[in-house]
């Protein structure tokens, strides 16, 4: 089965590394110096996480809907 998985990516201001997480898949997070390397690492970690999940859990993976930004004053 093919899964289309969405990762959330940020750039760490202290290290300059890209950091990715996949909400809804425990343990699916990684980091890298470049976006190309990050994509490779993220694919690898998601494959490993999915291998560890039972079939019922894989059926319950969340569906990506979108990202919203909000402006707040602090």
Rounded Cα distance between 74 and 68, Å, is: 19
* In-domain check, residue 74: no
* In-domain check, residue 69: no
Tokens of 64: 């990506």
* In-domain check, residue 13: yes
**Percent of the chain whose predicted confidence (pLDDT) is above 90:** 73
* In-domain check, residue 35: yes
* In-domain check, residue 70: no
Determine the structural domain holding residue 17 and report its residue range: 8-59
Tell me the residue length of the chain. Answer: 74
- What pLDDT does 39 receive? 97
- What pLDDT does 62 receive? 87
- What pLDDT does 59 receive? 87
* In-domain check, residue 64: no
- What pLDDT does 64 receive? 87
- Please, what is the average pLDDT of the chain? 94
Stretches in the chain below the pLDDT threshold 70:
none
Angle at 60 between CA 54 and CA 66, to 5 degrees: 135
Look up the CATH number of the domain holding residue 12.
3.30.160.250
Rounded Cα distance between 9 and 28, Å, is: 12
């Amino acid at each position: 089965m093919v899964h289309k998985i969405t990762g959330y990516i940020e750039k760490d201001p202290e290290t300059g590394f890209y950091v990715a997480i996949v909400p809804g898949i425990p343990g699916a997070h990684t980091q890298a110096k470049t976006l190309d390397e990050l994509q490779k690492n993220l694919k690898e970690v998601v494959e490993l996480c999915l291998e560890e999940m039972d079939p019922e859990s894989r059926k319950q993976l969340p569906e990506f809907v979108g990202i919203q930004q909000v402006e707040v004053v602090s």
